[in-house]
Amino acid sequence: KKSVRASVKGMMLPRRLCGVAGHRLSSSMLQLRERGGSHIDLEQLEVNMFRAPKESFWVPLGGRGVFGGQILGQALHAATRTVEGAIQRTWKAHSLHAHFLQKGDPSMDVIYLVRTTSERRSFVTRTVEGVQKGETIFTCQASFAKAPQNSTRQQLDHQRDMPEGLPEPEDCVDAKDVVDDLCRSGSPLPESVKDRLRDVKALPVDVRMIDHVPDILNPNPPKVPPRRKMWIRVEKIQKNSGLDECCAAYFSDHFLLVTALLPHGVVFPSPRLGVVASLDHGMWFHDDFNADEWILYDVYSPRLAYGRGLSIGHMYAKDSKRLCVTTVQEGLLRLARPSPARLGVQLLLQANKLYHDLMKKKRFSFFSSSS
């Protein structure tokens, strides 16, 4: 196999910046969008067996396997399809507990096997396994509750309040505009990295960053508290599809785990990182919401130690201000071992950052003669 490391003036970029060997996603992802496909679409093979086509898979820049949120959303979709009445919303997913056992290979389909774990009057549970090459790469349990009926019985209700004083989504930084800036003509990034960044524009998710906009050109980002807020939504979902929770599972993995890196002055992706991988992921669905309407995603990390980081996220429906979803994730966050190649990339990023900042401010040009 050919090396996936991209060369910049004779320097080799680590896989952490280039992605997965031999896998280019831009064309397949754009074709998926053109034919109206979804990143959580499944083909039903048997009553409790589903297939996710490899053509839909996305590997994030800096990632080594299929995006964890995509596996999570597809698994919940598979479970939902086996609960009678879930699509019609007479049953609703209320919790999900998942473990990532191996990285997903983007060159192979994933088979999801669903098992009925329990059937009770008010709750039903499904166990889902994601399989590649005969091995389980992912497992989860999803629980569904019978939708509440109109009742005069008094119910207890409280929530963690939605943060106030936030800018409107239209006034925040569009993540895809950041990609455009990085991929513009004259950008110092190599074309291999730009190709991977362009995949982000094909994603069916709209993200508006309220704070801590990631800057992958900055080798030494500031150390800030481990909290990040953003507006997020899927761009389009069929009404009454019963898949809002599946979509939330999909985009819950955006910026969740890596929020734990903020107080350490490390951005993702970075040559300073050796391992970034999800271990387990839990979700609780508290209230109804529409995944294609703006949702505030408020994420913070209470702990990072021994290479394992924990992040917690709260999703609020913008219009109702109701806390709709809580998500918790633990994952591996390990620094890379020092090496001459990584030191070289660090110096290259510093030079690129300086160039980027200077050109953005239009103060100097490296192509003009100095006086």
Hey, which residues are catalytic here? 253, 278, 329
Six-digit token pair at 206? 């709209």
At how many degrees (to 10) do helices 68-81 and 244-251 cross?
160
153 DSSP 8-state letter? S
Residue 127's beta-bridge partner residues?
115, 141
> Cis bond leading into 53, ω under 30°?
no
Q: Rounded CA gap, 314 and 283, in Å?
A: 10
Cβ contact 301:226 at 8 Å: yes
- For 191, counting Cβ atoms within 10 Å of its Cβ (0-12 exposed, 13-18 middle, 19+ buried), the class is exposed
Cβ contact 200:179 at 8 Å: yes
DSSP calls for 166-211: PPPGGGSEEHHHHHHHHTSTT-SS-HHHHHHHHHHHTSSEEEEESS
